[in-house]
Amino acid sequence: MAASRTHRLIDLWLGTESAQRLRLRQTSLAMALMVISIAALHYAVHVGGGERGVLLWGWTACSLGGMVAFYAAIRSGWSLRFRDPSLTSQQIAFALVAAALGYAQAGPLRGAVFPVLTLILMFGMFQLRARSAYALSFGALALFGAVMAFMAGLRPAAYPPAVEIGHFLMLSFMLPAVAMLTARLSRIRRRLSEQREELARALAQLQAIATRDELTGLPNRRQMQALMDQELLRSLRHHHDFCIALVDLDHFKRINDEHGHATGDAVLRAFAQAGQAALRATDVLARWGGEEFVVLLPDTSMPPAIAGLERLRLQVAALRVEAGGGTVGVTASIGLTGHRHGDTLDQTLARADRLLYQAKAEGRNRTVTDEAPRPISLG
Ligand SMILES: Nc1nc2c(ncn2[C@@H]2O[C@H](COP(=O)(O)OP(=O)(O)OP(=O)(O)O)[C@@H](O)[C@H]2O)c(=O)[nH]1
């Protein structure tokens, strides 16, 4: 109960979208650091005998208000319009200005600002590019240099010039060092993301090789086998019909022999395109091997299956492929059968194969089914 209330509060503060949650978590951490730094500065001024006057309270209000404004800009989604919706550089720049102004008021304990400064710059380590990290570091150095010079001139007793020069020298070593580390991390991050993209590309390529026929771009035999297995399971669960057809190009050897292998390849590609166009979007045409193809017609009974295969056969017969100045045509023989409940896929495929053999034997360029003959509608 208490846990779920805590979760609800956290969701209210951070939202539920994961990238936004990450950004807001980081900003909340920055806010916490700001609150601790404000408390520490008040303590430092108090211990140092300084006056907690309007300047300190003004600084406190601006520092807190700024962080709340950053939180609101991110939480409301307003910052999503920027390249970096976390507003990392802007938050760091703001915190650096607040730190420099805090340094001007901290008195004898002002050295405590330096580790905070490092911490502020470390917020950029996982986000900033090298250029931004160097710009922020050198900007901070210039800002602190100006504040140190100003304070040494204004209150030399509290900010002795010799001590300020020492502080500046320390910063001029420390800040570029942090920027160098950030730049190194940024390079590692970039290399990692390049490698990740390369891996994703290689994986996509491997998937295409494993599932597609290279010549025609159709699903290959392995992929078709998986699709038919899936369809078999679906048909068992939902008690629907599906059909399978074996399609074989006629006298294909002759095309190769008379026009060359390249023309044969072009005919296979043209067949694949025309075949897919003739079928419904849910039907799958796959290359089974050589000049033999399989069509899977999911959730389809025999009459529409016959119509679909006849449409395919007629469109293939109308194909003309360029070959050495002329054109070459091709026809297809088709064995079509419906899957029978209780049969294995191999049994259905064997039946389609026998029907295909029959189509060849009866003169080719025809669709043969084991269904009782009925008028074919091409609708
Ligand atoms: N160009 C090309 N030819 C192929 C490819 N795969 C198989 N073949 C050829 O397809 C031809 C198939 O010939 P056969 O099995 O004798 O059949 P067919 O000539 O089509 O005769 P029927 O099937 O009886 O009508 C062979 O010459 C194979 O070399 C391929 O990827 N590209």
Using the mean position of ligand 1's atoms as its centre, give its distance from the Cα of residue 210 in Å: 23
> Residue 223: what residue type?
Q
Note the pLDDT of residue 53.
Answer: 81
Mean pLDDT of the chain: 92
Supply the residue whose CA is at minimum distance from atom 14 of ligand 1.
253
Mutating to test ligand 1, I would choose from 220, 247, 250, 252 the residue with most ligand atoms within 8 A of its C-beta, which is 252
Percent of the chain with pLDDT over 70: 97
State the CATH architecture for 221-369: 2-Layer Sandwich (3.30)
Supply the residue whose CA is at minimum distance from atom 5 of ligand 1.
290
Supply the residue whose CA is at minimum distance from atom 16 of ligand 1.
253
pLDDT 10s digits, 117-126: 988 988 888 7
Using the mean position of ligand 1's atoms as its centre, give its distance from the Cα of residue 5 in Å: 70
Note the pLDDT of residue 159.
Answer: 94
Query: Does the CB atom of residue 310 touch ligand 1 within 6 A?
Result: no
Query: Does the CB atom of residue 256 touch ligand 1 within 6 A?
Result: yes
pLDDT 10s digits, 310-352: 999 999 999 999 988 889 999 999 999 999 999 999 999 999 9
Query: Does the CB atom of residue 166 touch ligand 1 within 6 A?
Result: no
pLDDT 10s digits, 133-179: 999 999 999 999 999 999 999 999 999 999 999 999 999 999 999 99
- What number of residues does the chain have? 379
Which pLDDT band holds residue 376 (cuts at 50, 70, 90)?
Answer: very low
Mutating to test ligand 1, I would choose from 246, 256, 293, 368 the residue with most ligand atoms within 8 A of its C-beta, which is 256
Tell me the average pLDDT across 281-303. 96
pLDDT(49) > 80 = no
Supply the residue whose CA is at minimum distance from atom 13 of ligand 1.
253
Supply the residue whose CA is at minimum distance from atom 23 of ligand 1.
250
Query: Does the CB atom of residue 360 touch ligand 1 within 6 A?
Result: yes
Tell me the average pLDDT across 71-88. 94
Tell me the average pLDDT across 81-101. 94
Query: Does the CB atom of residue 291 touch ligand 1 within 6 A?
Result: yes
Query: Does the CB atom of residue 283 touch ligand 1 within 6 A?
Result: no
Nearest ligand 1 atom to the CA of 262 is 1
Catalytic residue among 291, 292, 322, 362: 291
Tell me the average pLDDT across 291-297. 97
pLDDT(13) > 80 = yes
Tell me the average pLDDT across 240-262. 96
Which pLDDT band holds residue 31 (cuts at 50, 70, 90)?
Answer: very high
Note the pLDDT of residue 373.
Answer: 54
pLDDT(377) > 50 = no
- Give residue limits of the domains in the chain: 2-205, 221-369
Using the mean position of ligand 1's atoms as its centre, give its distance from the Cα of residue 216 in Å: 15
pTM over 0.90: no
Asked about 291 being catalytic, the answer comes back as yes
